[in-house]
Amino acid sequence: MAARNPGVEFDPSWIQSVHVNLPATKRRAEQLGIRRTVKKHYQAAWELRAVTCIDLTTLAGDDTLSNVNRLCFKAKNPVMRELIKAMDVEDLGITVGAVCVYPNRVADAVRSLKAAGASHIPVASVATGFPCGQTPLKTRLEEIRLAVEDGAREIDIVINRQMALTGDWKGVYDEVKMMKEACGEAHLKTILATGELGNLVNVYKASLVCMMAGADFIKTSTGKEGVNATLMVGLVMVRAIREYFERTGYKIGFKPAGGIRSAKDACTWLSLMKEELGDEWTRPDLFRLGASSLLIDIERQLFHFVYGRYAASHEIPMS
């Protein structure tokens, strides 16, 4: 992880000065979306990089200990060993960026990773009444503390959308700051739920406010909204990250989540990070992909790179 962001004092004039050029943003996002991706061994390298940035996630109501065990084993061995060997990248020790679960499953994930010899992979926990955040603040803060006590090293919180939609940015700042304090040594990832913020100006403002309050990462979505990660939203958020870095010197991570299912999508998001923020933001300490099914397609593409054909369904284990 990058150095912690201590946050800065709330600056209402900074928030009020926000302006988003919608036509220019749309045009830039379209350019990213239609651009030809890298090919052959370059493509394989980008796909392997994407693997290391995945937050391998299970957020289902029927999650069980066996589900978590399976997820953690896959986190340690995200790509089939025969593919890793064929590409001669065994020395890279490729794993996913984190395992993401509900608070009730954090202890199970910590134990499973330890049993797999992969304790270096952090456990991330969603918290604060995920995905809606419609629980009392006291309850949301306690949920963070309990997840951290159980071993979560990253906490994905949801911001108060009511405050954001009514322009109460100081209220959003105060809540996120309290959540950062509740995290202790765990890194704080703030979910903006951009599909519910109404417009891109609110997305930019919410990004800035969360970073001011001490967020280590800003994240697009819970994955449960009607509209999740889009390139337009991502572009606005990474521009906010760049502005915050230029003003404060602190590097904030970015995590698009929801609807990212293909290796091509992953490479497009990586290209956005590379072009807008630089190579440093294409690594897991500053970039994550929130996805549960993405890894399947990346393995499928890597299989094609190695063998020149796509694998049958039984040849690639489900993630």
* pLDDT mean over 145-149: 98
Catalytic residue among 55, 108, 150, 156: 156
* pLDDT mean over 286-311: 92
Residue 211 counted as domain residue: yes
Q: Is the pLDDT of residue 56 over 50?
A: yes
Residue 3 counted as domain residue: no
Q: pTM for this structure?
A: 0.94
The chain-wide mean pLDDT, for the chain, equals 93
Residue 219 bears catalytic tag: yes
Burial grade of 149 (CB within 10 A; 0-12, 13-18, 19 or more)? exposed
Q: Which residues contact 188 (CB under 8 A, 6 or more apart)?
A: 154, 155, 157, 176, 179, 180, 214, 215, 216, 217
Position 35 scores a pLDDT of: 67
Residue 145 counted as domain residue: yes
CATH number at residue 82: 3.20.20.70
Total number of domains in the chain: 1
Burial grade of 40 (CB within 10 A; 0-12, 13-18, 19 or more)? exposed
Q: How many residues does the chain have?
A: 319
Residue 202 counted as domain residue: yes
Residue 7 counted as domain residue: no
SS3 content of the chain, % helix, strand, coil (to 5): 50, 10, 35
158 pLDDT band, cuts 50/70/90, is very high
Q: Is the pLDDT of residue 319 over 60?
A: no
Q: CA–CA separation, 73 vs 80, rounded Å?
A: 12
Hey, what's the torsion of the CAs at 286, 215, 246, 35, to 10 degrees? 40
Residue 33 counted as domain residue: yes
Q: Kindly report, residue by residue over 67-120, the tens digit of the pLDDT.
A: 999 999 999 999 999 999 999 999 999 999 999 999 999 999 999 999 999 999
Q: Kindly report, residue by residue over 17-53, the tens digit of the pLDDT.
A: 999 999 999 999 998 877 656 788 999 999 999 999 9
Q: Kindly report, residue by residue over 162-205, the tens digit of the pLDDT.
A: 999 999 999 999 999 999 999 999 999 999 999 999 999 999 99
User: Among 81-90, 130-139, 306-315, where is mean pLDDT lowest?
Assistant: 306-315
Position 223 scores a pLDDT of: 82
Residue 255 bears catalytic tag: yes
Share of the chain above pLDDT 90, in %: 86
Catalytic residue among 205, 216, 255, 265: 255
Residue 4 counted as domain residue: no
Catalytic residue among 219, 251, 265, 297: 219
Q: Is the pLDDT of residue 122 over 80?
A: yes
Look up residue 196 and give its two tokens. Answer: 């519910």
Residue 2 counted as domain residue: no
C-beta of residue 170 within 8 angstroms of C-beta of residue 196: no
Position 36 scores a pLDDT of: 59
Q: Is the pLDDT of residue 218 over 60?
A: yes
Q: CA–CA separation, 286 vs 292, rounded Å?
A: 19
Position 1 scores a pLDDT of: 57
Q: Which residue range(s) make up the domain with 180? A: 12-315
